[in-house]
Amino acid sequence: MSERLYLFLVGVSILFALYFETEIVIYGLVVLLIFEAVTDIRITTLTQRIRHVSLDSGLFAFQSRKRFDIEAIRAWRMFVSLVLVLSYFLVHELDMEVIWFFPWFMGFAIMGAGASGVCPVMLGLKWIGFR
């Protein structure tokens, strides 16, 4: 599984969970993303090892100066999980209906990044200095 397919599936999962209001899927996805970010055990690399292939991420990237010794994809997973859980928690638990669009926007943006191969958050993280 490539990173593009993974992003597309994460985006679809977020939209599915928001539409059907299944908070267990949102919180499960957040736990999965945090687990992958902290341990660097990723579903994409595991599936590639099982299939004995090595796939490119498929995401647009540019070269920048490396300031941090953390991969951008790990930082992306942590960033997305934190923003998703905070926005979802604020909307559903504290009734801050003003920010209802954040989780929806994230779902569509992540799904679009998987479909197009261009993730603005990932590009921003690489520009900041993640490898």
Q: What is the pTM of this model?
A: 0.88
Domain ranges of the chain: 3-49+56-128
Tell me the CA distances in angstroms from 122 to 3, 32, 78, 87, one per residue in order. 12, 18, 12, 20
How far apart are the C-alpha atoms of 63 and 39, rounded to whole Å?
25
pLDDT for res 5: 92
Neighbours of 8 (CB within 10 A): 18
Which residues of the chain have a pLDDT value below 70? none
